Each structure stands twice: as structure tokens, then as C-alpha cells.
A and B are shown apart, each in its own frame.
Chain A
Amino acid sequence: MGNLSCPLCKTEQGNTQDNIKSSLYLKAVLPSLVDLVQLDKPAKELIIPANEKILFSLRNGEKAFLKIQNGEITYSPKKIETPTIHILLMSPSHAVQVFEQGKLPFLLKGFTRISFLKKKFDALTKRLEYYLKETQNYTEEEKRIYAILQLKTALRSAEVLAEKEEVSKKILAGTPQGILRIGIESINFESYFGFIDGKWKYIDRLSGQTVSSILTLKDLKTTELLLTNKLDTFAGLGLGKIYISGIIPIIDNVGLVLGRIIQYIS
């Protein structure tokens, strides 16, 4: 399996760190494959003929279910159908080794599909790395994909931290409840993160909820600088590269949580 990790990942720092990291891979990085094949033609072409249901399961823990069919991927955090491939991760630490260091997972089911895993799925995850690792010399279209994938992965990661990480929990406990819209103006992209049903969550599309805060990045360059931690956001506000409105403490505090992702993956 390709290395799904990003280069700034830290070495193991104990069980809590690994618990959070493994959750980030299962609940934030793997779901990004869904977006990847929607956005990136080479990625989609890799899976067009495939018809697989892959279950990643952490022993006594979380799961990630990927259904690959008709050139699309759907994700679920639980097993929703009988998998064709079942990958067992023995522990959070083992999961981290699998995702970051390419250590072999335990294959419980799908022995006849090893060639798919080694060729197509591996290539797919490498394509994801291409966008989630350090920035490359992207084409204009790839810059758009990079920005969307990075932002969505970050927001999904924020949901994991909101649930699992003590500091993030404390930050969000003191945050006004509401929904933050994050957008990139030049490509008309919007995504959401907010408090719904008693939890802080990534929200792909709103279903009738009202936005309470808005953070808009002017263009892809601004987005890239922000994502690579090279943007002075206060300066960006004054220069009109970033626009905010609504309940600013939500933006501030979600920003603090997003800033913590780098301690686990980046």
C-alpha cells in the first residue's frame, strides 16, 4: 500500500498520539479518496474498472469502509456491506506504521485482490499523497484540486481532534456554537465546519442550517500560503486577501484547532 502519510508526520509519541493519528488516517485522510476521484481525472481512471469494497478495521476500534464502483468511491465510518478486501490494523500504533511507513497490514480477506491493492490502490494513494504532501509544481487545475483536498482533509481532521484531542476539546468547549463557512472565492468553493447535534463536525453540504461565521480566501495563492503556514493571516485580512464576518470567535477557535493538525499529520 502506498504511503498515505505526509512528510511532516512526527515520530510516535505514545498511545494518545497514535490513537489520534490512526483516527486521522481512518476518518480524515481515507475519506479524501472520495474527493480525489471526483476532482482528479488520473485518479478516477485508476479505479474505473474496479469494483471493490475495502474495510479497514482497527482491532476493537474504528473502521473505514471504501466502496469503489463505477469510477467513484463512497466512504463510511462503519462496515455497511460485506467487504471484498478486509485490512486489519492490530493497534493504533500498527495503523500509524501502515499509513506512514508502509508496513504491511494484516489481510483478512481479499487474497485474490492483492494485485488491485498493490497496483491500483497503491497508485491511488500515491496520487492522494501528491496533493496532500508538500506542494508541487502544480498545473492550474491541480492547484484547485490541491486547495480543495487540503481544506476538506483539514476540516475532517478538525472533527477528529474535536472528538479525541484534549486541547482541541477545551478550545471548542469555550467556542460559541455555530457553523463556519470556509470558502475560496476565485474557484467558488465552500465547505463547512460547525456544531451540529452536540458535536463539532465537518459538513460537506448544509441542509437548512444557518451560517454564523464566514472565512473567505480570495484566491488559490492565498489558500496555498495559508495551508503551508506561510501567510500572516492578520496581514491577509488587512490586505483584503482574507475576508471574515459573523461570530469571529468561531473562526479564531476553529483556526486554533486546525493549527494543531500539524502536530499529528500535515
Chain B
Amino acid sequence: MQVFNYSENQKWFERATRVIPCGVYGHFSPAPCVPTNAYPFFSTRADGCRFWDVDGNEFIDYMCAYGPMIMGYHNSVVDEAFINQLKQADANSIASTKMVELAEFLVDLIPVADWAFFAKNGADVTNYAVMIARAETGKKKIIAIKGGYHGTAPWMQGIGHPGVTEEDVANVIRIPWNDLKALEQALEENYGQVAGFISSPYHHPVFVDNEYPAEGYWDGVQKLLKKHGAVLICDDVRAGFRLHLGGSNEYFKFKPDLICFCKAIANGYPISALVGKEELKVSASKVFHTGSYWYSSAYMSAAIANLQELKRLNAPEYFEKLGNKFNEGLIKIAKDYGFNMKITGHPSMAYYRITDDPSLQLHQRWCAECTKRGAFFTSHHNWFLSMAHTEADIQKTWEICEEAFKALKSST
């Protein structure tokens, strides 16, 4: 099996460092790609569940643009909806009726939604949700989960990070996941001050195993928040439409007041949404929140087409079936080579970890060996499946995984 060369990637990276901080910044930066020389940094094209880098290397993509690519790159139905609307109008001086159509579609699709609001990125709507919670309750503090990610706004970053002041994070209380006592304690200690609780539907941090809610956890959360008059915000930016088309809360059987969606909503076209209960609509109307491109209608058309396709194809069921099959095979292959592969989280976006080395170095080396052979895996983050991944792709990926285990075995 061919092991990839990244000479053109390196040339482009050198060019990038001269004009761009970090070369490539944010979650696409080289920092979590260990070792960096096993990873590509620049692509030339993508199609289905594959992308090609500037060296011409072909990858089966298990990061799916870190979640947005849910139908597959270049999905003809979604792309056609986008292009057709683009021809009519996109950025404009007044809103498009597509905005109303998309809001109606989401209100029908998502049981807790009585209204919808659109922006571009996940952080746009997590910020908006927090502002609505504060406007509704007249309180300042927000409770969040340790290790939970809700964007890069200063209030959501950790203390000590460059550009973040102590004041920025002063009103955010971090508690452990699945810990109702900690939530109760935080609410009691900050009695009358907590505006809301923001959390993903299940815990999917980076670098550590993902965790589902414990039995009765979300029931307990809802009761405590109701008692204290705090708003429940579900950050479904990463998991949204993968576990359940009505929102991941339906999968885990709880009813948030606000739900934030982004990544998978439009198959890579930039749009995010906040949906909420009727009771919060007036507060939502009072919070001024807007952006230059938040009314672009082509992306709204893409979102409608994408969600219709996910519904038509019953995407969550497909992900569950394909993901479980992939995982079972992968666990067996690892075992055949003497390794223990632990898989946590939902099959459509599971987190993988070779447990034989707690420092993660073994897992990092294995992910690197897979990537160098054409299965694009990162070692720190959950992976993603798309509707374009097929059983044939899974088979090909298993072969790559096996070669990587062989390489690992021969070097240890």
C-alpha cells in the first residue's frame, strides 16, 4: 500500500506561514495533527466522501470538514438548490422568502421549535442563545460543562488564554459532565444569578472519551433549571441532525428551551440556526444580533434541500447502521493485532482511542499511519460519517487500518 508524500503540502504551508498567522489557523491548524508530517494541509478538490490534497493524494474523509459534510461533497440535490437560488438572489438589501420557508421547515421538523433564527457559524447562535437567556431572566451567570466547546467567543474560552480577560469568563461556571450534584451546587451557590445552562446533548470533548448522559441526567437537569428559573440551551452544533432529525435532544428524550444548530444543516454551506420555544420568542426579539451575510438566501435553499434529503434517506438510521458496522470491524482488526480500540459517542460521530497507551502516543501514531495511507483520521477529535460513505469505503478503510496496525506492530 502506498505511503503518501506531502512535498507540495509543505511548499504551500511555507508560503502560508509568510502571510497567515499559524500558516493554517484554528481547528485546521497543524497543532493536533501528530506528527504533522503525516498530514496534508491543503486540498484541491473533494467529491462524495473523498478529498484530494495538493500532492494528488486521495483520502477517504472521516472528518467531513469537521462535521458539516453530511450528504457528501458535491451532493447534486443540495448544490442544485444552492445554485438555483444563487441565480435568483443571494445577498440582498431585504430578506428572502427562503428565510421564512427554512424557518417553517425547522419548526415542523424540530418538536421543541416554535421559531428559528439564522446566522453563519455555530458561535453566532451559541452567543445569541446566551444573550437570550440573560435577556429573559435578567441574570448574568451561565453554567457550562468542563471541556465543553461552544465557540471561541471570549466568554467561552478558558482563563489565561491570550486575548481573554478574567472579566470575560467571570460569569461562566464550569461543572463536570453528568454531575447533577455539581449542577445543583452551582445553582444554589449562585442563587438568583444563573441565566442558563449550556451543554451539548452528550459530552463530546476532544482528546478524551465521549460520554452519553447517565440515566435520568437530562430529567434531573430540567427539573433543577426549572426550579431556579434558568434557561436550558442545547448546543447541537456538532451532533445536530446526525442522531435525530428533530434534534439530538429527541434521541436523549429531553426538551431544551433553545437549540443551536450549524455544521450539518446545509452540507457545508455556511449557515447556522437557533430554534426556541414560544416563551422565549419575545426575549429573542429584543436581543439585537446580526451579521453581514446572515440573510444570504442561497445557503438557506441549500439547508432546506439538505434537510429534506436527510429526512428522505432517514440519515440517522443509515449512520447508526453503517457506523456500528465500521466500529465492529475496526475493534476486531485492532484486536487481531493485539490492540484495544475503545469507541465512544454516537456511531455517526464516534471518538476512537487505542487504550494500550494512556499518553495517546500510540493512538496518534496509528492515526498518522492511516492518514498516510488514505484514511483521513485525526487522533484528538471525534470522526464523522456522511451519507456518501458506503460499505465499500468502509471495507477499503479497514484495509488501510490493518496496514497501519502492521506498521505500528513492526515499529514497537
CB distance from A120 to the nearest CB of B (A): 40
Compute how far the CA of A214 lies from the CA of B34 in the bound complex, rounded to whole angstroms: 11
- Complex CA gap A127/B346 in Å reads 59
**Residue B7 CB within 8 A of the other chain:** no
Give which listed residue, A171, A178, A253, contacts B359 with CB less than 8 A.
A178
Stretch at the interface among B16-24, B83-91, B188-196: B16-24
| Cβ–Cβ < 8 Å partners of A249 in chain B | 207
Q: Which of A168, A212, A237 contacts B36 (CB 8 A)?
A: A237
Interface contact A174-B146, CB-CB below 8 Å: yes
Which residues of chain A are near B361, meaning CB under 8 Å? Answer: 214, 245-246
A235-B22 Cα distance, complex, nearest whole Å: 4
How many whole Å from B151's CB to the nearest CB in chain A? Answer: 18
Residues on A with C-beta less than 8 A from B291 are: none
Alpha-carbon gap, A167 to B160, bound state (A): 6
Provide the residues of chain A in CB contact with B364, threshold 8 Å.
245-246
Bound Cα distance from A174 to B41, whole angstroms: 30
A239-B13, A244-B34, A247-B207 known; A234 and B22 CB under 8 Å? yes
Given the complex, which residues of A lie within 8 Å of B30, measured CB to CB? 234, 237-238
Tell me whether A212 and B159 are in contact in the complex, defined as CB-CB below 8 angstroms, given that A234-B30, A244-B34 are known contacts. no
Contact residues, B112-132 vs A (CB, 8 A): none
Chain A contributes a number of interface residues (CB within 8 A of B) equal to: 31
Select the stretch in A34-42, A47-55, A102-110, A254-262 that faces chain B. Answer: A254-262
- Taking the complex as formed, is A198 at the interface, i.e. its CB lies under 8 A from any CB of chain B? no
A234 pairs with B31, CB closer than 8 A:
yes
A247 to chain B, nearest CB (A): 6
Inter-chain contact total with CB atoms closer than 8 Å: 84
1/0 per residue, CB under 8 A from A, across B29-42: the answer is: 11110111100010
If over half of A's interface residues share one DSSP class (helix, strand or loop), that class is named, otherwise mixed; here it is mixed
Contact with B along A126-147 (1 / 0, CB 8 A): 0000000000000000000000
B14 within 8 A of A: yes
Chain B residues positioned under 8 Å from A211 (CB to CB): 359
Chain B, range 166-219, C-beta contacts under 8 Å to A: 166, 174, 207
Contact of B29 among A234, A253, A257 (CB under 8 A): A234
Are the CB atoms of B207 and A238 closer together than 8 Å?
A: no
User: Is residue A213 contacting chain B, with contact meaning CB distance below 8 A?
Assistant: yes
Contacts of A212 in B (CB 8 A): 358-359
Query: Which A residue sits closest to B24, measured CB to CB?
Result: A238
What residues of chain A lie closer than 8 Å to B207, measured between beta carbons?
176, 247-249
Q: How far is the CA of A214 from the CA of B14 in the complex (A)?
A: 24
Say whether, besides A245-B35, A245-B364, A238 and B380 are in contact (CB < 8 Å): no
Give, as a whole number of angstroms, the nearest-CB distance from A245 to chain B: 5
Write the nearest CB–CB distance from B266 to chain A, whole angstroms: 29
Which of B17, B31, B158 sits near A244, CB closer than 8 Å?
B31
In the bound complex, do residue A240 and residue B158 qualify as a contact, i.e. CB atoms below 8 Å apart? no
Given contacts A245-B361, A245-B364, contact A235 B34 (CB under 8 A): no
Bound state CA distance, A168 and B32, in angstroms? 23
Interface of chain B residues 342 through 364 with chain A (CB within 8 A): 358-361, 364
Query: Contact check: which of A235, A248, A253 meets B32 at CB < 8 Å?
Result: A248
Q: List residues 99-121 of chain A with CB under 8 A from any CB of chain B.
A: none
Q: Name the residue on B nearest A178 (C-beta).
A: B359
- Give the shortest distance, in Å, between B163 (CB) and chain A (any CB): 12
User: How far is A49 from B37 in the complex, measured between Cα atoms in Å?
Assistant: 52
Per the 8 Å Cβ criterion, residues 363-410 of B in contact with A are 364, 380
Q: Which of A214, A235, A246 contacts B23 (CB 8 A)?
A: A235
A212 to B358, CA, bound (A): 8
Residues of A within 8 A of B23 (CB): 232, 234-235, 238-239
> Which of chain A's residues have a CB closer than 8 A to the CB of B146?
174
- Asked if residues B14 and A171 are in contact (CB atoms below 8 Å), the reply is no
Contact residues in B for A259 (Cβ distance below 8 Å):
162
Quick check: B160 and A260 within 8 Å, CB to CB? Answer: yes
Residues in A neighbouring B166, C-beta threshold 8 A = 167
A234–B32 Cα distance when bound, in Å, is: 10
User: CA–CA, A38 to B359, complex, Å?
Assistant: 33
Give A233 Cβ to nearest chain B Cβ, in Å: 8
A170 interface hit (Cβ, 8 Å): yes
| Residue B223 at the chain A interface, CB threshold 8 Å | no
**Do B31 and A248 touch across chains, with their CB atoms under 8 A apart?**
yes
What's the least CB distance linking B382 to chain A, in Å?
A: 15
CB-CB < 8 A to B288: which residues of A? none
Chain A residues with Cβ below 8 Å from B360 are: 245-247
Q: Is A256 within 8 A of B31, CB to CB? A: no
Q: Is B161 positioned at the interface, with any CB of A under 8 Å from its CB?
A: yes
Closest to B169 in A: A170
**Contact between A235 and B17, CB atoms less than 8 A apart:** yes
- Contact check, A213 vs B359: say whether CB atoms are below 8 A apart: yes
Confirm or deny: A195 has a beta carbon within 8 angstroms of a beta carbon on chain B. no
For residues 207 through 266 of chain B, which have their beta carbon under 8 Å from a beta carbon of chain A? 207
Considering the complex, give the chain B residue whose CB is closest to the CB of A213.
Answer: B359
Cα distance, A178 to B207, chains bound together (Å): 14
The 5 A-B pairs of least Cβ separation, nearest first, read A234-B22, A238-B30, A235-B17, A171-B160, A237-B30
Some 11 contacts from A to B, beta carbons below 8 A apart, are A174-B146, A174-B158, A212-B358, A232-B17, A234-B24, A235-B21, A237-B36, A238-B13, A238-B17, A245-B360, A245-B364
Beyond the given A234-B21, A234-B22, A244-B34, please list 9 additional residue pairs across the A-B interface where CB-CB is below 8 A: A210-B359, A232-B23, A237-B30, A238-B17, A240-B36, A240-B37, A247-B207, A248-B380, A256-B160
Q: Which residues of B contact A (CB under 8 A)?
A: 10, 13-14, 17, 21-25, 29-32, 34-37, 41, 146, 158-162, 166, 174, 207, 358-361, 364, 380
